[in-house]
Structure 1
Amino acid sequence: MEKNFPNQRLDLENLIIYFDNTFICFKFDEDGRGPGISSFTLGVDNPENIYKRANDLGLVKNETIIIGGVKFNLI
């Protein structure tokens, strides 16, 4: 992994891999769906506009954008 991602840092206690401008955080199964990607947290410039558009498209459930069973959290 070091060869492909030379600037990575590991936080083994919190199960996080940090890269140059992003990170991957591993979580234990909390919703009973089993293994796989359950959510993405995305930093965006205009979360209100994106949330409104997703709501107009029927992609919002319990105040969360859900596409293909994957949650998208906007920050």
Structure 2
Amino acid sequence: MVPKRAVSEQNGEPIVWVVTDGTAARRPVALGSERIDQIEVKSGVMAGETVIINAPAGLTDRARVRVKGS
């Protein structure tokens, strides 16, 4: 489950942004059930990966990002 705010659309398909080695990576995802403000990600993201919530509109693959609190 991820926050619904972590899921956006690109070309009509759901995507999630994750942080890998300090860079953003766009991941197409398959979605499942929803609960209040959370949504199940059936594939595309692995447990333990850092998901970007409220990704900025201009975010691109391999853009350098900083995780808050790190």
| Band of TM-score, shorter chain | under 0.3
Higher RCO (Cα < 8 Å, 6 or more apart): 2
TM-score, with normalisation over the residues of structure 2? 0.26
Normalised TM-score (structure 1): 0.25
**Structure with the higher strand share, 1 or 2:** 2
Higher percent of residues as helix: 1
Pick the structure with greater CA Rg: 1
